Structure 1
Amino acid sequence: MSQPVTDLPSRLLLSLTPWRNAARWHIAFSGGLDSTVLLHLLAHLAKNHSLPALNALHIHHGLQVAADAWPEHCQSVCDELGVPLQVIRVQVQPGASLERAAREARYNAFTAVIQANELLLSAQHRDDQAETLLFRLMRGAGVRGLSGMPRQRTLGRGHLFRPLLDVTRAELEAYAAEHQLCWIDDPSNQDRQFSRNYLRHQVLPVMIERWPQAVTTMARSAAHLGEAEGLLDELAQIDLASARTVSDFDWLGVPSLELAALAELSAARQRNALSHWLAALTRLPDTDHWSGWEDLRDAAPDARPVWRLAQGQLHRAGGRIWWLAGRWLRPANDAVAWHDPSQPLVLPDNGMLSCRGQIPDGPLQIRYRQGGEVMAVGDRGHRDLKRLLNERRVPGFVRGRLPLLYRGAQLLGVANLRDLSGSEQDGWHLHWAPLSEDQGLS
């Protein structure tokens, strides 16, 4: 049973209580019915309650001619309510799904705007949640997908909150009529070729005619699945804790997990733990693509399997799996002269190199492995570099980026590797600080 429209302001204020100390509330304002009601509610609540500063954000996708007039409409609404408006124009990348591409462009824009301790308020409601559940069910989603839209989540440096998920579309329409609000009717919302519109106009009305409480019960199912997802997340944290062991190559700053700890789990727990871990790194694979994990996990010990995902790759080396993206996926090839070894050397796309202790005589040069290198190692004489790297179990993906210190044709040292990175007798040591993830490796 829907609650009276007159309760909407108090219900909204109650749901926003935990966020009253935020620095600013941004409202995702499309100009449509839902966001217009949300903006109107917040603007009027701000007159009688101490709320954070309000700011409306309108994303202009530029996908249809009619949309060019929407920023002006949004500005007039905001002017009337006394809420500042920020219009952001985005470029929607072409792809198989226009809906997905527009959503990604929109949320990328929101992420760029939202600062620490700020909140983005979005106006999705209970009917939207039911549509989301049906849409994802048709796509074969698992528990995470079928839990629907979360009420809150992190967004960039701030948070996203959906305060109207317990409110029906009918309640919003009644509020808009009572307050004589004007809003934009997006023509594309009637286009049945878009899956969500088809569900909204063709499927849900038939279901509601047969089961009047369908929207409410589907939202309840999404909440149950959300609780199940929380339990699966807790299980994933337990399983990942045993796989986040110390590695000799932690200094690389590359995310990695111990393979043996994962392999001891059931297949379902492996997928659950990896999904949780990968979610922060890449778009998750669909069900069929998970065979790539099995191939990587079960490959022969001397193999170098790779599982290619949307934003990077998983490699297996040294009894671990490693997440590689960006520059880690290509070797560094450019030789660099080191004219002043007393100063750190910035390597193109490969971090920084420094020499500690007594500096070797020059002229010196930094090169990268090409194959066939030989190095003098103490009383062991000359040894193939490949064999030396194998002895130290250096992961294959690192070998093409390890800085090699040369004097003429002589290989003097390999950065960061024990017994190879310098000379105890001559008192020097070569230290390499790879680019961190924050510096552009993912």
Structure 2
Amino acid sequence: MALPAEQDLLQSLPELTSVPEARFWVAYSGGLDSQVLLDIARRCIPPRQLRAVHINHGLQAEADSWEQHCRDYCQLFGISFTNKKILVVPSQESLESAARRARYQVFESLLDEADYLLLAHHQDDQAETVLYHLMRGSGLRGLSGIPAQRTLAQGQLIRPLLPFSKPELREYAEGHQLSWMEDHSNRNTDFDRNFLRQQVLPLLKQRWPEAVQSIQRSAGLAQEAEHLLAVLAQIDATGVIDTDKNSIALAGLKNMEASRQRNLLRYWFGQLHARYAIPVPGFNELSRLVNELIPAAEDALPLVSWSREGVEVQARRFQDRLYVLKNFSGDCQLQALPINPGDKIDLPANLGKLNLRESEHGIAISENDCLEIRFASEQKSVRPQGRRSRSFKKIYQDYKVPPWMRDRMPLLFRNGKLVAVADLFVVDGEDDERAENHVILCWERAG
């Protein structure tokens, strides 16, 4: 009988014995799949390392009953139980997407370094995911389906049941006399995944009994191809992508054929999404980048914008580079933010974070100085250290600051006097080496 035995789970978690302080969080809804996963986990993971987390969405009348079922099971077997009630508020997304996003925010908040989150996705879930992305016209990433393991926040997300089918999980549950809750909302075929689960997959299995396994195999091949494209993108990225400035050299892109341009851009946007939560553009936006923005004349000011999950993004070009940034929210010109050495503050208008780091060299300060971050100066000109005085406009041109950023640069004032312009330069004469204390500005841009 092919069942997800305890040894199979152990083999999928090689760090279990080598990292004794690791915690294993099982996402426990109380349904059949997660009930099987938690039952297996409690048999092979030491109790001190095992945790169950239940997410109560509050979307159904039975939500509290589900929560109580999960709480009772964990109490019966001495499993540490965490319950999280969340409020699902869909904006420009479906209820399904909003609920998923809210769940993962909870998961990310729980995971520390060396922690694992175990999810109960199985072969049938994989088939649904691939079919769903196929109907949306997705590329290889979507057709790769659900990964067996990936990084999540500080920890790792693992799906140990992915090699097993739904009937195998049911057979295990019945063989071990488990009880579980039935989610009646799964019968509502108004939801895309339910439609695939209730109507499409049974029909495919009737015609092709190994349909789920075949789709799983195709997803694995797509994952291989996706990996090879990522390797190619890493090669193409050399000398083209500037991760510090969130920009990409158009000259390098122009030398590539369109398909290679799109591949590199997808890779780059994946990096930006992981680092700054910048949403990845869809097919239409990516096509506009390749067909309109990249080949535009040097003096043109093309703009491509898109929005996902309430985050608005724009792509611009400046001095033969492509920049991507979140839309600025609000005006920061009149703001003055107090800051002290060692502080890390949030800047307004989606500008990121600023850290005033103590250093052996840099901006000279004394104990009683009043330090502020502003975004406007009454001065018309400024003199960088070791250079002549020039207007702000000329200085920003010299430092290749894009036009849309020039009135949003964080300026450091000491006792009302400008002493540094962002992380670009220290004003001439403000780096007195005789001073006992010095600081430098470190700006973490938000993308």
TM over 0.5: yes
Question: How do residues 52-91 of structure 1 correspond to structure 2 at under 5 angstroms?
Answer: 53-91=49-87
**Is residue 305 from structure 1 mapped to residue 302 from structure 2 by the alignment?**
yes
**Is residue 42 from structure 1 mapped to residue 64 from structure 2 by the alignment?**
no
Return the offset for 1:347.
8.9
| Percentage of matched positions with identical amino acids | 38
Asked whether the 8 Å contact 1:121–1:162 carries over to 2, the reply is: yes
Distance 2:182 2:405 in 1: 55
Residue 163 (structure 1) aligns with: 160
Question: How do residues 233-244 of structure 1 correspond to structure 2 at under 5 angstroms?
Answer: 233-244=230-241
**Is residue 28 from structure 1 mapped to residue 36 from structure 2 by the alignment?**
no
Question: How do residues 193-342 of structure 1 correspond to structure 2 at under 5 angstroms?
Answer: 193-244=190-241, 253-279=244-270, 280=274, 281-294=277-290, 295-310=292-307, 311=311, 312-325=313-326, 332-334=332-334
Residue 350 (structure 2) aligns with: none
- Which deviations, in whole Å up to 9, do the C-alpha atoms of 1:147-177 show, x marking residues without a partner? 0000000010001000111101111111111
Distance 1:345 1:45 in 2: 45
5+ residue gaps, structure 2, are 348-352
Return the offset for 1:421.
3.3
Distance 1:352 1:59 in 2: 36
Return the offset for 1:287.
1.0
Distance 1:30 1:242, change over 3 A: same
- Which deviations, in whole Å up to 9, do the C-alpha atoms of 1:63-115 show, x marking residues without a partner? 11111211110011112222111001111122441111111111111011011
Distance 1:109 1:365, change over 3 A: closer
Q: Identify which range, 389-398 or 102-111, moves more after superposition.
A: 389-398
Distance 1:370 1:195 in 2: 54
Q: Identify which range, 269-278 or 126-135, moves more after superposition.
A: 269-278
- Which deviations, in whole Å up to 9, do the C-alpha atoms of 1:15-65 show, x marking residues without a partner? 23354434111101000000001111111234xxx6871100101111111
Question: How do residues 398-409 of structure 1 correspond to structure 2 at under 5 angstroms?
Answer: 398-402=405-409
SS of the residue corresponding to residue 10 of structure 1 reads helix
Match of 1:36, as an amino acid? Answer: Q
Distance 1:416 1:66, change over 3 A: closer
Distance 1:225 1:259 in 2: 29
- Which deviations, in whole Å up to 9, do the C-alpha atoms of 1:248-287 show, x marking residues without a partner? xx9xx54222222222222112221221221224222221
Larger Rg: 1
Asked whether the 8 Å contact 1:20–1:52 carries over to 2, the reply is: no
Distance 2:76 2:212 in 1: 34
Distance 1:13 1:387 in 2: 62
SS of the residue corresponding to residue 313 of structure 1 reads strand
Return the offset for 1:330.
5.7
Return the offset for 1:435.
3.5
Asked whether the 8 Å contact 2:316–2:323 carries over to 1, the reply is: yes
Please give the root-mean-square deviation of Cα atoms over the aligned residues, in Å.
3.9
Distance 2:337 2:148 in 1: 55
Distance 1:30 1:347, change over 3 A: closer
Distance 1:300 1:40, change over 3 A: same
Question: How do residues 135-150 of structure 1 correspond to structure 2 at under 5 angstroms?
Answer: 135-150=132-147
**Is residue 422 from structure 1 mapped to residue 428 from structure 2 by the alignment?**
yes
Distance 1:398 1:180 in 2: 63
Residue 436 (structure 1) aligns with: 444
Match of 2:41, as an amino acid? Answer: L
Return the offset for 1:334.
2.0
Distance 1:386 1:431, change over 3 A: farther
SS of the residue corresponding to residue 51 of structure 2 reads strand
Match of 1:275, as an amino acid? Answer: R
TM-score by length of 1: 0.81
Asked whether the 8 Å contact 2:341–2:439 carries over to 1, the reply is: no
Distance 1:155 1:88 in 2: 18
Distance 2:202 2:337 in 1: 71
TM-score by length of 2: 0.80
Distance 2:100 2:337 in 1: 47
Distance 2:384 2:149 in 1: 58
Match of 1:131 among 128, 133, 153: 128
**Is residue 390 from structure 1 mapped to residue 397 from structure 2 by the alignment?**
yes
Match of 1:153, as an amino acid? Answer: R
Distance 1:406 1:114 in 2: 39
Residue 120 (structure 1) aligns with: 117
Distance 1:137 1:371, change over 3 A: farther
Q: Identify which range, 15-24 or 130-139, moves more after superposition.
A: 15-24
Asked whether the 8 Å contact 2:373–2:413 carries over to 1, the reply is: yes
Residue 109 (structure 1) aligns with: 106
Return the offset for 1:324.
2.4
Tell me the number of residue pairs that the alignment of Structure 1 and Structure 2 aligns. Answer: 420
